[in-house]
């Protein structure tokens, strides 16, 4: 039912022939240099989605840190996974109902550990400033205006160093405004993946445990799109990393960036 609903929505929204250009012909890509994507920064030893976690991801040798973007009630971008403040800060309530100053006054570290007391919720500007010249950023867009996000990326000269994840309608808007940015829709199923490829010609497609399957993987390969896959939880281990690589993954999102980087170096698959 989900597959049919999403497919029909995409078809009706993006369904004119001019917009749905065919994917570019396949060309040879280097699938042996694997990107290490540090999920919410290095968050096993640092509060997630904070500057400390992002710096630790850089120090671990990751190629990307992943972050989650939300918008405050006064139109500022802040970094937080949840729609509410409760789990990761000493505040409560929905992010979008609070001003930037209200969120900035909260403590985003003390619930993780007293050692991180006083940690602030970062802005997207701060994350990009830290990343520039050091690491790429995987932008998981929870709630953001497409033009504002693009303007922020470009103002920090990060347009060649981001992938943008989010719902397909948001990504389509980003693609229409600035086609050269790397939008990264979730593959979902073979049929939906084909719609997304025709609509946006993505350079990379996202996968998780539910859609990292042969038919859906084949869609990315036929479109000459890179495959970035989540290997989190019980799947975050060398055996499962290698299986993902064997199936065609060129990026792995992990909670263990240092360990994955070491594994890739040991097998001559590290990007740097």
Catalogue the active-site residues: 39, 81
In the chain, which ranges are E strands?
35-38, 64-71, 77-79, 136-141, 162-165, 204-207, 226-230, 251-254
Please say whether the beta carbons of 223 and 197 come within 8 A: yes
User: Helix, strand, coil proportions of the chain in percent (round to 5)?
Assistant: 40, 15, 45
Q: Which residues pair with 226 in a beta bridge?
A: 204
In this structure, which long-range contacts are made by residues 215-220, counting pairs with CB atoms below 8 Å and at least 24 apart in sequence?
215/189, 215/190, 216/187, 216/188, 216/189, 216/190, 217/187, 217/247, 217/248, 218/190, 219/187, 219/190, 219/193, 219/194, 220/187, 220/193, 220/248
Contacts of residue 155, Cβ cutoff 8 Å, sequence gap at least 6: none
Q: Which residues of 31-65 are buried (b: 16+ CB within 10 A; e: fewer)?
A: eeebbbbbbbbbbeebbbbbbbbbbbbbebbbbbb
Report how far apart, in Å, the C-alpha atoms of 228 and of each of 79, 114, 149, 203 are: 21, 34, 21, 11
* Cα gap 168→28, rounded to integer Å: 27
């Amino acid at each position: 039912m989900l597959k049919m609903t999403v497919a029909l929505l995409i078809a009706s929204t993006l369904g004119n022939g001019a917009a749905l250009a065919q994917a570019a012909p396949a060309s040879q890509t280097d699938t042996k240099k694997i990107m290490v994507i540090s999920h919410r920064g290095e968050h096993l030893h640092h509060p997630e989605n904070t500057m400390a976690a992002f710096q630790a991801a850089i120090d671990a040798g990751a190629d990307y840190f992943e972050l989650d973007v939300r918008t405050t009630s006064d139109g500022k971008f802040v970094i937080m996974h949840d729609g509410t403040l409760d789990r990761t800060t000493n505040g409560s309530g929905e992010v979008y109902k609070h001003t930037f100053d209200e969120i900035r006054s909260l403590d985003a570290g003390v619930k993780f550990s007293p050692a991180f007391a006083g940690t602030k919720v970062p802005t997207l500007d701060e994350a990009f400033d830290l990343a520039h010249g050091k690491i790429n950023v995987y932008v998981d867009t929870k709630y953001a205006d497409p033009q504002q996000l693009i303007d922020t990326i470009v103002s920090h000269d990060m347009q060649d160093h981001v992938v943008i994840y989010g719902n397909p309608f948001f990504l389509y808007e980003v693609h229409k405004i600035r086609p050269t940015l790397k939008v990264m829709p979730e593959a979902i199923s073979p049929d939906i993946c084909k719609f997304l490829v025709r609509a946006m010609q993505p350079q990379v497609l996202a996968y998780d445990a539910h859609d990292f399957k042969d038919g859906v993987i084949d869609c990315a390969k036929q479109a000459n799109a890179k495959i970035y896959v989540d290997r989190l939880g019980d799947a975050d281990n060398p055996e499962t990393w290698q299986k993902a690589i064997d199936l065609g993954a060129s990026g792995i999102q992990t909670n263990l960036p240092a360990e994955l980087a070491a594994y890739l170096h040991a097998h001559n698959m590290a990007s740097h």
